[in-house]
Structure 1
Amino acid sequence: MTQTGMTQTGTTQTTTGAGTRRLTGYAHGGGCACKIPPGELEDVVAGLTAAPASPNGELVVGLDTGDDAAVVRVPGAPGGLAAVATADFFTPVVDDPYDWGRIAAANALSDVYAVGGRPLVAVNLLAWPRDVLPFEIAREVLRGGLDVASLAGCHVGGGHSVDDPEPKYGMAVTGVADPDRLLRNDTGRPGVPLTLTKPLGTGVLNNRHKATGEVFEHAVASMTALNADASAAALDAGAVCATDVTGFGLLGHLYKLARASGVTAVVDAAAVPYLEGARESVRAGYVSGGTRRNLAWVAPHTDFGGADEEERLLLADAQTSGGLLVAGEIPGAPVIGELVAAADHPLVVR
């Protein structure tokens, strides 16, 4: 099958030095679709509250609402800056190691942008099956991460590695933000539009890539694009509420935002943009387990109206390095819904 925006590679496989098994074949999942399911994760962290107040700074954003990064107001910092900290890593989402590194780095940096911050320095997180995959493959992964961090103006200062049966890569990132101009997931208010800065569909296209070897360059381009401009535009527009869309899908992250803000989020399904080939791939059955778990998690909290199973799966598609979901309008980005006063369901699809 060949479509515009897709390259058919059939059974062509990436040479890894361990036969002809493709890089994605070493992972049980792929990208952010391999996250622990959101409902299970919330059970794990329940009751793990922040430490008591510290003289080293005030925890402005922590674990309470499951926001994208931790933010600490640092006493005496020039300009009243706050420190932003996050970490993100995952199994191979594509077979090309350089692209995997770029995607993983963009995804980790996104958490800083999602709270309105700027990344300063990152350290690599690498798990590698050293007796199975040659280290020249790992080098390509790290090179990809370095190149994207450099585009972001973010230093990479080393990192940590472990010998692991399954390859994993990502970054721990530290940034800065104005603590009085943050983007949070608990500050949404009724009457505000919802804007999405990247199309959905990376999850289903990545799953198709893993299953068939087809390469979707437009999906790679989306996943490696930084959310820096979107974050700056949101702040310039006066937005105070946002999150990024990754492994829990649009509906999962929007549910967390609506629940934390005490509002209902209404999604106009027809206005949601998708990458070319995403809808066809859902119809062909290339839906990850992570996407189905996302849908099962949000279903009890969602009024789906007339949305069919295909639409529901697309809206719950487990994204890797997705865009920002902003409560507010951003020039050039589509409005996909709005926040309204709390109703019977935190989520409504119309």
Structure 2
Amino acid sequence: MTAPVRLRPEIVALPAYAQGKPASPEAFKLSSNENPAPPHPAILAAIRDLDINRYPDASALVVRERLAARHGVSADEIIVGAGSVAILAQLISAAATVGDEVVHAWRSFEAYPGLITVAGATGVRVPLTPDAQHDLAAMAVAVNDRTRAVIVCTPNNPTGTIVTAQQFADFMSAVPTDLMVILDEAYAEFVCDESAVDGATLVGRYPNLVVLRTFSKAYGLAGLRVGYAIAHPSIVQAARRTAIPLSVTEASQRAVLAALDHEDELLVEVASIAARRDDVRAALLEQGWQVPVSHGNFVWLPTAAATAAAAAAFADAGLIVRALAPDGIRVSIGEAQSVATLVRVAGEVVRTL
């Protein structure tokens, strides 16, 4: 369809971000990496009575102060946004424009290419290693005079693999100190490996590092869209200048505070999901799947050319999964009741691959 106005051709050609498919009431939605547990009663109580005729605090100061105390930084080193992906868009826009490059692994979070294109920059995709991990050495080599940012996703979405603390330290030593390095840790709470990098402990060591976190996954606030980043105050200020004003709602801010008040209870459910994830992977390995060790709330099935057919088989059984052709399928760890069906259908699929 021809537009009635002049539009940027790269935007017209850009595929829109595809959200995980919805599920019918009788099916399990395993396509969006959501926390399947119902909202904590304290969170529901916190957002029940809102003066929705009033604007929220644009800076989310109370939330920033709470997070700053948690991470041992100042409130000026925290930015809160409408999900960590919104902050990522702000960071890319603040750092890169036409003629600039942003390096990231592939396959990784599928929103990265679109966010880079919208900023006017060029994305440089560095293939994962054969065992589905970031090839940090190759990513460092891909950095040049045009590179304005690098995105490292750990645990990587959709493969679930981690970057270790030592691997990340080596990478930071290999890239310029004035290059923005964005460490996307949306699934950090699900990590059980002590060797994994923990970005929140590194901000003071690397002024060029930005650490992204979200409340969508572990804390079950996906529907309220709230995340945050920790970074040098100058980076935070630049990111704020590219933000859509007042995008973090009062409901989101109240929900975060309530979630942090009851964090211990919420993390019990996170541990349960992580244990379920490990059980699912063990069952898949027994069936013959080559499944990477996952540290997110999902597992990765490398279905390659059979991706569409495999996703259809899961859908026929009432499991809505995320098909990422031509590479594979990401399956979120959902309700405990979904596991038996997931394992059964995966066994049927692997025999036909």
User: If the TM-score is normalised by the length of the shorter chain, which range does it land in?
Assistant: 0.3 to 0.5
TM-score for both structures, normalised by structure 2: 0.33
TM-score for both structures, normalised by structure 1: 0.33
